[in-house]
Amino acid sequence: MRRVLSATPGAPATPGTPAPESSAPSASHSAPDRLRTEFAFELPRGYVDDSGTVHRTGVMRLATARDELVPLRDDRVRENSAYLSVVLIARVVTRLGTVDDVHPGVIEDLFASDLAFLQDFYRRINSEGHTRAAVTCPSCQENFAVDLAGGSGGGRGSAAGGGGRPGES
């Protein structure tokens, strides 16, 4: 099942923005607002594959009811309920770097901080519908929003990488 994305045709996808769709509507056809179903992200550390390549960027789609129900029938989840998040995250992450086949084995090999990031990211996009978080600067007490997906400029300057700049959203 493929869902339509809200994206400007020809616009590059950056972390925190939907990946562009291949069959974008023509500019002459003005479509109403579309539901955003895919969200780019950047992991704090990254998945290291068997060859030593680090994969940090990826795409997560919104979960369906089936995505949340199917893992409950998985024997690994029945034996250990903590495995539920691994199976669930593997179902909704559609790409991780150059890895297109994201399965529970890939998610198992993530660093714990990256798994925690994806669990929070999942919660945010499926319950709140966005990846922004309100924060307060500990020095000046200024309130601003950071994009947990990494925003423009990469994850090192975002909350995912351990910081953020006022005015980013």
Could you tell me if 152 and 40 are in contact, meaning their C-beta atoms sit under 8 angstroms apart?
no
10 found inside a domain: no
DSSP 99: B
Please report whether residue 164 resides in a domain: no
Question: DSSP E strands: which ranges in the chain?
Answer: 38-48, 54-61, 93-96, 132-136, 143-147
d(CA 69, CA 64): 9
User: What is the pLDDT, as a whole number, of residue 28?
Assistant: 46
What is the domain count for the chain?
A: 1
Confidence of residue 131 (pLDDT cuts 50, 70, 90): low
Residue 43 belongs to what domain range?
38-130
User: In sequence order, what are the beta bridge partners of 135?
Assistant: 144
pLDDT tens figures, 78-97: 999 999 999 999 999 999 99
Residue with tokens 């809200």: 6
Amino acid symbol at 129: G
Task: Please classify residue 140 by burial: count the beta carbons closer than 10 Å to its beta carbon, then call 0-12 exposed, 13-18 middle and 19+ buried.
Answer: exposed
The yes-or-no verdict on residue 34 having pLDDT over 60 is yes
Domain membership flag for residue 119: yes
H-run or E-run covering 68 = helix 65-69
Q: Does 126 map to a domain?
A: yes
The CA distance from 1 to 148, in Å, is 27
Is pLDDT above 90 for 17? Answer: no
Question: Is there a domain that residue 162 lies in?
Answer: no
The arithmetic mean of pLDDT across residues 144-156, rounded, is 56
Q: Is residue 155 part of a domain?
A: no
